[in-house]
Amino acid sequence: MKRRAKVLAMVLCLSLFAAMAMGSGESASDSTKKDIVSSDGSSTTTTEETSDATAEKAEKVDVTIEEQVLVDQDGVKITATEYVTDSIWGDGIKLLIENDSDSDYTVGCDALIVNDYMITDLFVSEIAAGKKANETMYLSSSGLKAAGIDNVGKIEMYFHACNSDWDYIFKEAYSEIQTSAYANMDTTPNDAGMELYNENGVRIVGKTVDEGSFWGTAVLLYCENTSGKNVGISVDDMSINGFMMSPFFSTTVYDGKKSIDEITIFSSDLEENGIESIDEVELKFHIYNSDTYDTIADSDPITFSAK
C-alpha cells in the first residue's frame, strides 16, 4: 500500500508539473500577454532593452558533466553520473543514490539553482537500508525558459535525507556541478520590466500579465536577492479593478540569487467579480527571512496595470 501511495503521489505531481509547464506564461501566445505599466499608463524598463542581449544568445549546445560525488554523509551517497535530455521532461541530472546505513530514508532537494536562478525541481527518492537507486532530477523546462537559460552552465543543489518520521539526518547539504557549458554561461539578468520594489536588498520587477495562463491569469515577476540572507516573498491584499483576489504566490530566493515566478489569479475569482480585463492591480509584498520567518519588510500598496 505504501508503494502504491508513493506511485500515485508521483503521478499526480508529474501531471501537475506537465500542466504547469504547458500553462507557463512564457509559453503562452503573445496575444494574451501584456506589459506591466505604472498606474498612469507609462511603462518603465529597468534595463536597456535586454532583447538586444538575448538576440545575441549562443546557440544551444550539447551539455555534459563529469561523474562526481555530490553528497557522502551519514551512510547516504549521491553521485551525479550523467547530464540527460528527455523529449518530454527536458534536461536533467542522472543520480546514483546509495544507502549504506541501517535505516530507510527519503532523499529530496531543498533548493535547485541553475545559472544563479532558483528553478523548480521534481525529485524525491525512497531508498531502503543497504539499497541503491538510479534517479533523475529534472530541471523545470518552463523555469529555464522563463529565466532565459538556453545552456545550463552551473547547477547548485541542496539535498536532504529523512526517515519515515521526518527526522532529518541532514538538510541543506550543498553541492555544485559545473557543466561543459560553464565557461560560456549567459549571466545576463532577465529583468526587463517595471520595477515594483527595491529595498532591503530585495528587488522585484513586474514583467508581464498573461491572461491566457493555465489556471487563469498570471503576473510574471523577476526577483533578485542581495540582502545577505535567504528570503521568502509572498503577496498580501491583492485586488484587481478594485475587487479583492486570493492569489497563489510564494517564492524563496536564496542570497545572491534570482528567480522568475508567477502570481496566479484563478479564473474563478475573476469570473465571480465579472472581470474580463485586467485594468488595475494593487498589492503588497511581504518579505521575510526564509530561515527564521522573521519579517524583513511589508511594502506599501503598489499599483500597476497591464497594456
- All structural domains of the chain, each given as residue ranges with its CATH number in brackets, are 25-50+189-306 (2.60.40.2550), 68-184 (2.60.40.2550)
| DSSP three-state, residue 216 | strand
Asked if 219 contacts 33 with a C-beta cutoff of 8 angstroms, the reply is no
Query: What CA–CA distances, in Å, run from 222 to 83, 137, 197, 258?
Result: 27, 24, 11, 7
Residue 26: predicted pLDDT:
45
Helix (H) or strand (E) holding 14: helix 2-23
**Range in 53-57, 198-202, 208-212 the model is least confident about:** 53-57
| Contact call for residues 76 and 107 (beta carbons, < 8 A) | yes
Among 25-39, 63-77, 103-117, 153-167, the range scoring the smallest mean pLDDT is: 25-39
Least confident range of 2-11, 144-153, 249-258, 283-292? 2-11
Compute the distance between CA of residue 79 and CA of residue 82 in angstroms, rounded to an integer. Answer: 9
What is the pLDDT confidence band of residue 212, given thresholds at 50, 70 and 90?
confident
Q: Which three cell numbers stand for residue 191?
A: 529583468
Percent of the chain with pLDDT over 70: 83
Residues shown for the chain: 307
- Model confidence at 4: pLDDT above 60: no
Measured CA to CA, the distance from residue 6 to residue 3 in angstroms comes to 5
DSSP 275: -
Find the Cα–Cα–Cα–Cα dihedral 191, 192, 193, 198, rounded to 10°.
40
User: Is residue 36's pLDDT more than 70?
Assistant: yes
Q: Which three cell numbers stand for residue 150?
A: 538556453
Please answer whether residues 115 and 149 qualify as being in contact, where contact means their C-beta atoms are separated by less than 8 angstroms.
yes
Please give the Cα distance from 113 to 127 (Å, whole number): 24
> Of all helices (H) and strands (E), which one includes residue 300?
none
Report the mean per-residue pLDDT for the chain: 86
pLDDT score for 57 = 53
Q: What residues form DSSP beta bridges with 156? A: 113, 176
Tell me the three cell numbers of residue 223.
526577483
- Reading the block at residue 284, the C-alpha cell is 503588497
Q: How much is the pTM?
A: 0.85
Distance CA 275, CA 278 (A): 7
**If pLDDT is split at 50, 70 and 90, which confidence band does 43 have?**
low
* Contact assessment for residue 182 and residue 167, using Cβ atoms and an 8 Å cutoff: no
Amino acid letter, residue 296 = I
Nearest to 12 by CA among 157, 133, 124: 124
Residue 225 pairs in a beta bridge with 202
Which triple of cell numbers denotes residue 67?
561523474
pLDDT band at 88 (very low <50, low <70, confident <90, very high): confident
- Beta carbons within 10 angstroms of residue 174's beta carbon: 12
